[in-house]
Amino acid sequence: MSNNSNDTNTNGSAGSSGEKSTNAFYKQFLRYAHGVGLKGYSTHYCPGCGHGLAQKYLAETVEELRIKDNTVAISPVGCSVFLYSYMDVGNSQAPHGRAPAVALGHKFANPNASVVSYQGDGDLASIGLAEIVFAAQVGIPIAVVFANNAIYGMTGGQMAPTTLTGQKTTTSPYGRGDIFGQPFKMAELIATLDGPIYVERVALFNAKERAKAKRAIKKAMQLQVENKGFAFVEVLAECPTHLKMEPLSAMKWIQEEMLPIFPLGVKKDVSGEGKGINVITKFAHPNFGPEKLLSVVNGGQNEFTPRYAESFPTHIAKENIALKFAGAGGDGAQTAAMLITSAAINEGYDSTHIPSYGPESRGGTSYADVRVAIEEVSSPSASTPHILVAFNAPSLFKFAPSVLSQGYVIYDSSVVSDVGLLKLSSSIKLIGVPFAEMAAKLGNPLVKNVVALGALQAATKLYPAETFLAALRTNLKSKPNLIELNEKAFWAGVDAVKISLR
Amino acid sequence: MPDSNGKGGKNLSGVAASIPAKNLKRRPFHLKEYCKGCARCIEACSKSCISMGTEINSFTGLMPVNFDLSNCIGCALCVTACPEPYALGMGNSETIEDTHYAGAASAVSDPSAGNIIIPGKYFGKDVERDDTGVMNADVEDIPDEIIPLPESVPLVIKGTYASAIGALLAGCRHFYGYPITPSTEGAELMAKLMPKLDGVFFQAVSEVATVNMMYGTGGAGMPCMTFTSSPGFSLMLEGISYMIGAEVPGVFVNVMRGGPGLGNIAPEQSDIKLVCRGLGHGHTHALVLAPATPQEMLDLTIKAFELTFKYRNPVIIAGDGYLGQMTGKVTLPKSMKRPGVPKWAVYGDKTHRGNLICSIFLTEKDLEEHNLYLSKKYQQICDNEQLSDVFKCSDANILLIACNTPAQTSKGAVTALREKNIKAGLFRPITLWPFPIMALKKLLSGGTIQQIVVVEASEGQLEDELRLALNKAGINKHPTIAHVRRCGGILPSVEEIVQRVCSLQTEIENSEVGR
C-alpha cells in the first residue's frame, strides 16, 4: 500500500487524509441502487466474496498504472455484473458470456485504450466459451480477469463448469458426477493456445497468494499499456454464500479442495519474448482520404468508356431485353453476363445481372439472368428471355423452350451435337457455334465465353462490336497481356456466326 | 455512530483507541459502516490485532470486526485482504486522528437522507470532483466531417458490394461478420478493402460474437456494420436487443433467404416479421430499410449510418438474396464522411471516461422510465422517418404493394398491366418499420384505388405489417387486400402478378355491373 510515490494524474487534490487515492474506485457508487445511503460506498458483494478483492486489485492497478482515462472495463453477467458501478473508467456492460467479443469491439475502436474483460466462471467457461477461446487464440491485446468460484452466484448456487467433482449445488444436488464431466481448467486450456502471451492462475486465501494475485493483475494490465497481447488471469475466488460456509472456511476450502484441481502458478508467459507484437495500432488512424477511397472501390478505373451504340436495340425488344447465360461452373457464363451488363451501362442503359448457382462450389450449374433496359430495369429476372446462350446440352434443353418468339438461342455446338429433339418456334433463331473447340484452337479453353459473346453480337446485334470490345478491354485492364487473345476469341465468334448465317 | 466501541471519541469508528507504543506513522483505519465482518483481515493479521465482531451494526445489520492496534506493526496486510473499497485503509495516524471519523459517523443517523460523510476522503479521493460515473455535462460531440468526393464513373457492382461501399463512404471502418450465403460477398469485399484503408475487417467466431463486437465498437461511438442472412440474423437478435437497450448504434444488412430453419439459400422475404416485430427480447424496435436496387443498397446504407447515430439505435437493412447478388449500375454520391466521436461514447479516453454503455435498469421504476423513453424515441422515428416510393399511382385503381426485388418485379407488372389498359400502380415501402402509412393514407384518400394487392416473397409477412399499420392509423375502411405470394426461394413473377390482377379486375368489373 505504499502510495506516496503514486502521483496520480486524475484525482486532483488529495483527500483530507493527506494522501493521494490508491485506487480507481468511484467516490460514490451511484449506479447501484442510486447509491442511496451507505450502499453508495460499499459493494453489493456478500461478506468475504472474492470478487471484491479481485476488483480492488484491478482498481489499484488502474490507479498505479495511471490508466483511468484510457481503460475500458467490460462488466459481464453474473455477480460481478455491477463492476461498472465501482470502477472509475470507461464502462461497458456485456451480454452473458460475450465480454471478450465486446472487449475486442472496444479495442478495435480505440487501439490505444487498455481494455479489460472481467468475467465469472459461468460467464466465461460455460456460455461464453467460444468467445473467450477465440479471443485468446487471435491474441488481440486485451486483459481478462476470470473469477473462478466453482459455482453460479447470481442465479443462486447452481453448478458451474468449474464445479468440483462431487460438489453439491442446486443443480447437482447429489454432487457433480455422472453425465456432467469434470471441472473445466480454463487457465490450462487458454495456455495451450497460441495467442495469449501471459496466463496465470492465482488465489486469494492468504497474504502471499493475494500479493501474487495483485501482481498478476497488474502485469496483465501493464501488458495492455504496452499493447503487447492477450493476458489472462484466473482468480480462485471465494463464494461463501453459495458454498454455505463462513468466509474463512471458504478460503480454506479453496486451499484444500480447489487447489488440487486448479493448481496455481504461471501457465504461460511469453510476454518477454517479443511475441504478441502489437499489430492493431494502425487501426487508430484509418484512412478517410477521398482519392484513396475512390481508388480502392473502383480499382483505379475511373475513365468513362466511350459509347458506340446509336440507339437501343429495339429490334430485340422495345425497352427491356432479357438474356440468359446457362452452363456449368467454369464455363464463364457469369463473366459473359457481367460484360453484357457493363457494356450496357457504358452505353448509358440500365442493366442488371443476377447469378444463380447450384449448391456445389465447383462444377455445378451456373446460370445468369441479364436485363438491359432503355431506362430502368423493372423485373430483373429473365425467366422468359429474348436471348439464351447455352454452354451445354442440359442448359440448352432446359431453357430453350422458355425463349420468347423472335428470340435467339446460341449454343456450344462442340458439346451439343444433336438438337433435333428441341421443338422451338420457327421464329426463334437457333445458332450453334463450337465455343469450346474454337477457344481450344486459340490456345486457351477459358475464352470460350468470349467466343460466345462474339457469336451473340453477330447473331443479335445487341450492341455494336466496339461496345463489346471496349467492355472487354476495361475488364482486362489489370491483365493487358490477355486483351489480344480475348479480342481474337470475340472476332472468331463473330466470324463463325457470319459463316453459319451465310 | 455514537461511540459504540466504548473507546472514546477521538479515533476512527471501530479503531481501537490505544495508539501503539511504537507510535507508528501509518496504521490501518476502519470504517465500520462499510465493514461486512467477513474476517479476511483477521486471517491476514499476524499480530492478532483484529477479532470477530461482537455487535451488530444498527445501520447495516452486519457485524463488523473489532480492532485493537496495540500490537500493530503497520504491515497493511489487513488492508490488502479487505474486499471492500471503503472499509479499511492505511492512513497517517495524525491526520486520521484529526478527521475524527467517530464523530463523523455519528452523522449517519439517517443514512437514507444521505447524511453521510463521504468515506472516499479518507482514501485520498477528491470528494469535490464528480467522479461517480456521470457523463460530463461539458463534453460535446466531436462532429462528423463531410468530405467532397471527386466525380467518378458509375460502378457496375452487386447489391452487397454497393452496400459495403456505401458503408465505407459513410465512414464505417469497422466490419465484423461471419460467412453466410447469400450475404458473404459483402464481407469478402470488406475483407479486401478494409486493410487498404487501415480499417478493421474481423471474421468473428460466430454471429453471436459479431453482434457483440458491434456492441463494443458501436459503444465506443464508431460506425460499424455486418452482413448476414436469415439464420445468422436470428443468432444476432439477443445482441440487437442489448444494443437497443443500451442505445448502441450499428448497421445490420440482412440479405434474407429461405426459411424456416436452414431453409435454403434462395431469396425470400422471410424476416419481415423478425425485423419489424421480433428484434430480440423486450421493448425493441429498429428502423428497417428495404432497398430494391443495387443503387439503393448503397444509398440506404449511407442513410442507415446517419439514422443509427441520429437515434442511437441499430438500423436494419433488409435485402433479399436476389438483390444481394444482383449486379447493376451504382452511382457514387458527391461526398463522404469522416466520423467524429459522440459525447456518450465509451471511447477509452479522458473526455469520455464517465460514460457507460449498459442496458441494466435494476429498479422497476427506472426500467419503466427507460422503456417509456424508448417509446418516445420510436414515436419520433415513426413521425419523421417514414420513406416510400410510388410508381404510376396518380390514377391507379389497383394498387400493388411490394418491397425489395418483388417491388421491381411489380414495376414490370404495372407496365405490363398498363399495356392492357388496367390502371395499376405500385406503392413501395422503403421503411418497413416504421411502415410508411402516412403516404399510403394520402394515396388511399385519393379515392381511385379499388383494390390492394400485396406482392411478396413470403407467406404474408408484409401484408401483416400493412394491416397492422392500417389498423393503428385508424383506417378501417380501405380497399380489399388480395395478394400474390411465393416463397421457398421463388419470387413472384410478372406473369403471376398480371394474371392475378386481371382476374381481380374482372371481379371488380362484374361487381360493378351487378350493382
Given this model, what pLDDT does residue B119 score? 84
The answer to whether position B138 is within a domain reads: no
Based on the fold, state whether residues B155 and B300 are members of the same structural domain: yes
Interface contacts (A, B; CB < 8 Å): 418
The answer to whether position B12 is within a domain reads: no
Nearest to A131 among B205, B329, B414 (CB): B205
The answer to whether position B199 is within a domain reads: yes
* Domains: count for chain B: 3
**Are A214 and A60 contacting, i.e. CB atoms less than 8 angstroms apart?**
yes
Q: Does A212 touch chain B (CB under 8 A)?
A: no
* Chain A residues 399-418 within an 8 A CB cutoff of chain B: none
Domain end position, chosen among B353, B384, B415: B384
Whether a cis peptide bond, with omega within 30° of 0, leads into B143 is no
CATH code of B205's domain: 3.40.50.970
Q: Binning pLDDT at 50, 70 and 90, where does residue B432 land?
A: very high
Mutation target to probe the A interface, by most A beta carbons within 10 A, among B15, B45, B84 is: B84
Strands A90-93 and A198-203 turn out to be unpaired
Based on the fold, state whether residues B450 and B478 are members of the same structural domain: yes
Domain end position, chosen among B384, B408, B423: B384
Nearest to B84 among A42, A88, A107 (CB): A42
Given this model, what pLDDT does residue B10 score? 34
DSSP E strands in B119-264: the ranges are 145-148, 155-158, 174-177, 200-203, 224-228, 251-256
CATH code of B471's domain: 3.40.50.920
Q: Does B390 touch chain A (CB under 8 A)?
A: no
- Please tell me the distance in Å from A57's CA to the nearest CA on chain B: 8
CATH code of B58's domain: 3.30.70.20
More confident residue, B109 or B491: B491
The answer to whether position B507 is within a domain reads: yes
Q: Does B493 touch chain A (CB under 8 A)?
A: yes
Q: Does B329 touch chain A (CB under 8 A)?
A: yes
The answer to whether position B375 is within a domain reads: yes
Residue B234: its H or E element: helix B230-246
Q: Binning pLDDT at 50, 70 and 90, where does residue B33 land?
A: confident
The answer to whether position B15 is within a domain reads: no
* Chain B residues 350-369 within an 8 A CB cutoff of chain A: 350, 352-353, 355-360, 362-363
Using CA atoms, how far apart are residues A368 and A334, in angstroms rounded to an integer? Answer: 6
Please give the mean pLDDT across all residues of chain B: 89
- Measured between CA atoms, the residue of chain B closest to residue A240 is B38
Based on the fold, state whether residues B261 and B348 are members of the same structural domain: yes
The answer to whether position B59 is within a domain reads: yes
- Please tell me the distance in Å from A244's CA to the nearest CA on chain B: 14
Per the structure, the complete domain to which residue B490 belongs is given by 388-514
* Chain A residues 321-360 within an 8 A CB cutoff of chain B: 338, 341-342, 345, 350-356, 359
Is the pLDDT reported for residue B447 higher than 80?
Answer: yes
Given this model, what pLDDT does residue A275 score? 54
Given this model, what pLDDT does residue B7 score? 33
**Are B14 and B82 contacting, i.e. CB atoms less than 8 angstroms apart?**
no
Q: What is the pLDDT along chain A (502 residues), one digit of tens a residue?
A: 333 333 333 333 333 344 578 899 999 898 887 887 788 899 999 999 999 999 999 999 999 999 999 999 999 999 999 999 999 999 999 999 999 999 999 999 999 999 999 999 999 999 999 999 999 999 999 999 999 999 999 999 999 999 999 999 999 999 998 899 999 999 999 999 999 999 999 999 999 999 999 999 999 999 999 999 999 999 999 999 999 999 999 999 999 999 999 999 999 999 988 654 567 888 999 999 999 999 999 877 777 788 999 999 999 999 999 999 999 988 999 999 999 999 999 999 999 999 887 666 566 889 999 999 999 998 888 989 999 999 999 999 999 999 999 999 999 999 988 888 888 888 999 999 999 999 999 999 999 999 999 999 999 999 999 999 999 998 898 899 999 999 999 999 999 998 876 6
Q: Does B239 touch chain A (CB under 8 A)?
A: yes
Given this model, what pLDDT does residue A126 score? 96
Strands B388-391 and B66-67 turn out to be unpaired
Based on the fold, state whether residues B40 and B183 are members of the same structural domain: no
Based on the fold, state whether residues B117 and B180 are members of the same structural domain: no
Based on the fold, state whether residues B375 and B438 are members of the same structural domain: no
Using CA atoms, how far apart are residues B317 and B34, in angstroms rounded to an integer? Answer: 51
Nearest Cα to Cα of residue A68 among B360, B213, B131? B131
Based on the fold, state whether residues B377 and B397 are members of the same structural domain: no
Based on the fold, state whether residues B479 and B452 are members of the same structural domain: yes
List Cα–Cα distances, B63 to A63, A300, B338, in angstroms.
30, 74, 57
Based on the fold, state whether residues B209 and B222 are members of the same structural domain: yes
Based on the fold, state whether residues B158 and B119 are members of the same structural domain: no
Given this model, what pLDDT does residue B29 score? 86
- List domains and CATH numbers for chain A: 33-279 (3.40.50.970), 315-501 (3.40.920.10)
Using CA atoms, how far apart are residues A312 and B233, in angstroms rounded to an integer? Answer: 42
Based on the fold, state whether residues B94 and B186 are members of the same structural domain: no
* SS3 state of residue A409: strand
Based on the fold, state whether residues B245 and B289 are members of the same structural domain: yes
Q: Which residues of B touch A16 (CB under 8 A)?
A: 95, 98-99, 121-122
Q: Does A47 touch chain B (CB under 8 A)?
A: yes
Range with the lowest mean pLDDT among A426-435, B6-15, B305-314? B6-15
Q: Which residues of A touch B153 (CB under 8 A)?
A: 298, 301-305
Q: Does A210 touch chain B (CB under 8 A)?
A: yes
- Please tell me the distance in Å from B52's CA to the nearest CA on chain A: 11
| Stretch B479-498: mean pLDDT | 95
Written as one string, the DSSP assignment of B266-335 is SB--TTHHHHHH-SSSSS---EEE---SHHHHHHHHHHHHHHHHHTTS-EEEEEEHHHHH-EEEE---SE
CB contact under 8 A, B43 and A112: no
| Stretch B211-215: mean pLDDT | 98
Nearest Cα to Cα of residue B377 among B310, B442, B436? B310
Domain end position, chosen among B340, B360, B384: B384
Nearest Cα to Cα of residue A396 among A378, A381, A370, A415? A415
The answer to whether position B5 is within a domain reads: no
Using CA atoms, how far apart are residues B79 and B73, in angstroms rounded to an integer? Answer: 13
